[in-house]
Amino acid sequence: MTGMVALYIFMLAAFTGYEVISRVPVILHTPLMSGSNFVHGIVLVGAMVALGAARTPLEKVIGVIGVLLAAGNAVGGYVVTERMLEMFKASGARRKPPGTH
């Protein structure tokens, strides 16, 4: 990938992110922040590659920390987002709150 192509990818991705979010209702701000928090968990693949190429003990230690943190970002981000979005059920499928009649 040449520098110029990378720059184009960067530019297009930036506009994509802006477009995807620009008309989002307030009720989804928190889930969406959580969802985008999950998406940058992709740092996991980078951390895997960095640790996979680590040679010295120092690099290995930092690499292990990186993979550990990145896995936490990805998995934690997923679990929290899923739990939040779980509540956005269609109105027909709503469970009744306890104690109603």
Touching other proteins, residues 32-51 (CB under 8 A): 32-51
Q: How many residues bind other proteins (CB under 8 A)?
A: 88
Q: Which two tokens stand for residue 41?
A: 């968990």
Asked if 8 touches other proteins (CB under 8 A), the answer is: no
DSSP-derived 3-state class of residue 64: helix
Nearest approach, Cβ of 5 to other proteins (angstroms)? Answer: 9
Cβ at position 20, least distance to other proteins in Å: 5
- Is residue 4 a contact residue for other proteins (CB under 8 A)? no
Question: Is 57 a residue that touches other proteins (CB under 8 A)?
Answer: no
77 within 8 A of 41, measured Cβ to Cβ: yes
Q: Determine if 65 is a binding residue for other proteins (CB under 8 A).
A: yes
- What residue type is 9 in one-letter code? I
- Residue 51 near residue 67, CB atoms below 8 Å: yes
Q: Which two tokens stand for residue 17?
A: 């992110």
